[in-house]
Amino acid sequence: MKNLRILFATIPADTHFGPLTNLAVQLSDLGYDVRWYAGGHYGEKVTRLGLHHYPFVKARTVDRDNLKTLFPERSRIKGTIAKLRFDYKELSLLRAPEFVEDLKDIYADWPYDLIVHDADFLGGDFLREILPVKTVAIGVAPLAESDPSLPAYGLGKQPARSLPGRWMQHLMRYVVQQVRLKPIDDLYNKLRQQQGLPKAQEFVFDAVIHHADLYLQSGVPGFEYPRRHISLNIRFVGAILPYTRGRKRAYEHTFRALQARRVVLVTQETTEKDIEKLLVPTLKAYREEPSTLVIATTGGYGTEELRNRFPQDNFIIEDHIDFDTVMPYVSVFVTNGGYSGVMQALKHNLPIVVAGINDGRNEIAARIEYCKAGINLNTEKPKTVHIWQAIDQVLTDGTYRRNVRKLGRELGTYNANKLATHYIEALAKEQESRLMPEEIQVAWLRGSLLQPINQQCRSAC
């Protein structure tokens, strides 16, 4: 087993690359030969992790930084589904044949046994049927598998409760998959055909999940909707989070945080450059409330501008902040819906105010609202007064705190690295995966345990 050769591969996006870093370092530390295929500036990040880097050669690097430059027409696209269709085509589908060519060249030089990739990296999906390798897909967003009891993925809708609502939900699922997203489903099968692969028997989002030998889902069942079915290759492993180097240091502004009446942590993650969307209105909300400390992390965009516009003593504005060091002192988490940040907030029992729609964030926001773990503002550009009201509500209504504590306890029963490593090793040995003891406690199994799980989700939410 120590000779196991594992290739990680990700599309060039922080939200896809970052969460896999912790697992990659863990497997490397265990003695496995771990290498990474990544494009653009992510090669430097791979090298800093101490791993061998394979760059994109035949694959084109298309990421959030150059998407608008390469495709100026994207700015004119209106509607969440239309943007999802465009982005999935350019970032994932059209890149898949290019990825496959690079991956075959890497295999000729270094015959890896297993490829670990984010779910949107479709090169891994194709490769499983081309080379004799095992594939592990990582879900770094809410579970996208279709289910008769759920709305179509991508709409950001919650499950219908009434009979007419369920009929409408079924109709909308058909419209989304068979009409509005049919072009990407057709393209997926066209590309498969070009690779000499058979047509998929299901919608593309389901196919990429079911084709993987193993699908590791970040998160816990309690943060998912109750469902009738779940595929046998899916494993919930808890919060899959980015790697942080070295020993944890105490938060440098601990004294200021302890002195404040409440502490608001606000972030737009690293994928959003427009500081006017969430950072500016949140800071405006507390310019006249010196007893509230607002900690804002910009992802490196507009930090100095914000510091100049908001010089108040109760504001701390940084490029990046280690959430694990600051969240123990935070009262509420304000976010545009990045999945890793939400998972960390739930681990730290923080109620959430979320304002995100595009790039799949509407699905995360909908689950936060469904589980009553926070308030969904249902917009990318909330007004200052609405942010203030939402923060006040989640801090005064104990329902939100109770629900995030339940989810935090559930997340605490999972050791993501340990579980993921266990399942990967079992797959490499071609043995049937066995449940870890701590996972039995939160029982996500199928069959006779499926209904209790659904009940558990309803009670946790």
What backbone phi and psi angles, to 5 degrees, belong to 457?
-65, -40
Q: Point out which residues pair with 375 in neighbouring strands.
A: 353
> pLDDT under 70 in the chain at which residues?
1-2, 246-247, 431-461
Q: What whole-number distance in Å separates Cα of residue 270 and Cα of residue 385?
A: 25
**Strands 114-118 and 134-139, how do they pair?**
parallel
pTM comes to: 0.91
Amino acid symbol at 132: P
Nearest Cα to Cα of residue 337 among 264, 271, 241, 239: 271
Nearest Cα to Cα of residue 59 among 6, 150, 124: 124
- What pLDDT sits at residue 448? 29
CA angle 154, 356, 396 (to 5 degrees): 120
Q: What whole-number distance in Å separates Cα of residue 57 and Cα of residue 8?
A: 16
Q: Point out which residues pair with 8 in neighbouring strands.
A: 36, 116
- What pLDDT sits at residue 359? 86
Which CB contacts under 8 angstroms, 24+ apart, belong to 52-58?
Answer: 54/7, 54/102, 54/106, 56/98, 56/102, 57/102, 57/105, 58/98, 58/101, 58/102, 58/105
Amino acid symbol at 237: V
Helix axes 96-109, 182-194, angle to 10 degrees: 30
What backbone phi and psi angles, to 5 degrees, belong to 250?
-65, 145
Q: Is residue 315 helix, strand or coil?
A: strand
Q: Is residue 326 helix, strand or coil?
A: helix
- Structure-token match 């910009």, residue found: 298
Q: What whole-number distance in Å separates Cα of residue 106 and Cα of residue 104?
A: 5
Amino acid symbol at 372: K
Q: What whole-number distance in Å separates Cα of residue 433 and Cα of residue 216?
A: 12
264 and 293 Cβ atoms separated by less than 8 Å: yes
286 and 292 Cβ atoms separated by less than 8 Å: yes
Buried b (16+ CB within 10 A) or exposed e, 368-385: bbbbbbbbbbbebebeee
CA atoms lying within 13 Å on the CB side of residue 392:
9
CA atoms lying within 13 Å on the CB side of residue 461:
21
